[in-house]
Structure 1
Amino acid sequence: MAVQPTKPGSVLSLSWRLVVESRARTVSVGISTVWVFVILAALLVSHASAKTLTIGTGSRGGVYVALGYGICDAVEKSFREISCNVVRTKGSIDNLIGIAKGEFDLGVVQSDIQYHAVTGTGTFKNIGALPTVRSLFSAHPESLAVMTKKDSGIEGLADLPGQRVDIGKVMSGTNATMRLLFEAMGVPLTAFRDIATLDVKDQYDAICGRDVTITAYLAGHPNANIKKLVQLCDVTFVGVAGSVVDQLIASNPYYVKTHIPKTAYDGMDRDVPTIGLLATVMTSDKLDFVIAYALTKAVF
């Protein structure tokens, strides 16, 4: 049976283009050849209409929104058959629920929230697991910055007990991570002189005014709020490393070892080891296989 010609802007034509590109890289029967047949199989079920992707991100000015626009830009530049819309949301949980409901094709999700959504634990204990969500790729680490003023005398985690410590806003990723860190250290919250749960906007006054000795923030780096603390408040970073990190990751596999690069902020002379989560681009099992491949190919 003759193959019908395809419209230039259709998913079907996109499938053929991916087949041609894959076949051009094939020099012998092997992985590339198998990949061609996989694409051909997907081609048979692809619908012949242009595709618009909607990606759930985060709040205005946040790194998730920037990531969403970056993904859309890469996709639209690489494949004219696909258009892309960025939607601002409240973050990871909204994005996952939106994906499960079919409101979003894609969503940026923090790896701990991803884990709980798949297993039906933590934040999703009452909501229940979301069996249809899938991971496409990890984008960037969100690293824990533990900060103190340079003249505080604090050199490592062992110096934290007895201090006034801000562990971040309740229900935030920072708060959850700091609690897990103290648990892995074997240090109860009662071991600290005071525990504050500050919003990001209140951290500047607290650490600069010495209301707290330690403040923390889980974020992608460089971060504008942390830049302000470094430039105007003379803060430095406390490394998070050692056996305590190994123990934390063993119990919570959605965390990774990472670092804050010395190029991130003024005055840094070394990378600072720490822990973090991964920003993951998620989708559902309903996303066309050809589209999923094309999107990932465009980004990488």
Structure 2
Amino acid sequence: SQQVDRFARGLDGFFAGEESLNEMNKSYVRLRIGGRWIESGSYEDESDIKFRLHLPATKERYKLIIENNTEEDENLDEKNRPSFIGTQESGRDSVSAAIQRVQQRGRYWKTSSRLGIKGGAPLDPFVRFTAKRRWSAAQEWNVPYNFRLSYFHSDGYKAISRLSFERSLDNALFFKAKTNVAWTQERDTLETAQTFSIFQHLKYNRGIDYKIGILGESLSHHVINAYFISAHYRQLAYQDWLYINIIPELNYPRELDYESIASISIRLEVIFKH
């Protein structure tokens, strides 16, 4: 299972999704340039920039973290659909500064707590608690779990959990089934996302993530908001910091009676880590 865990972490790091960046204990800057073409003929510019500064850049228990667009700013669409970036805050309203403490609890659980302030007028104080661990099942399966509870003065409590089942299929294929459940006090609604992925390793510098997903929410009863099918091709184009992303997708939203919408996203991505 340690081999499965290393394979999973390597894939998450290569595809550099939001969850991978959020869990990375490093400073980084990521610039994405490009957008999405939709079959109706419209184009959506999805260029954005995201940064995080960890001080000190060592394994100290306490860290100062300065970043823009915190984890709580991302909905489940953004966390699970590689073609969808969504609307990002800009300027000082998106920047936060926090003190983080990380603890190892026993052999398996790792927790972190964060106390900080998000920019804007007025300032928005917040607190966040995160717990995560991994299980092994029958040697072939790796089962990571992550839970986060946060409170923002502006819009109350937010909670999200993520449970995955992962295993290698062979030297070039990797399977992941992931379940997300999120709740916000402001909306008082449960959001859900279920995805099934197969990662195909093509060469040392390129791969494809084939994904099927179901997005829903629950208020008085559970409804499916969308189904989607996507293939995320990602290639390291230069050294270790320039990537090419091509993502064709079929989306079946509830507001269109689940009729398909085809799109293709093309983005250049520059990412520097320290």
Flag whether TM exceeds 0.5 (same fold): no
What interval of TM-score do these two structures reach, taking the shorter chain for normalisation? under 0.3
Structure richer in strand, relative to its length: 2
Instruction: Give the number of the structure whose alpha-carbon radius of gyration is greater.
Output: 1
TM-score of the two chains, using structure 1 as the length reference: 0.22
Structure richer in helix, relative to its length: 1
TM-score of the two chains, using structure 2 as the length reference: 0.24
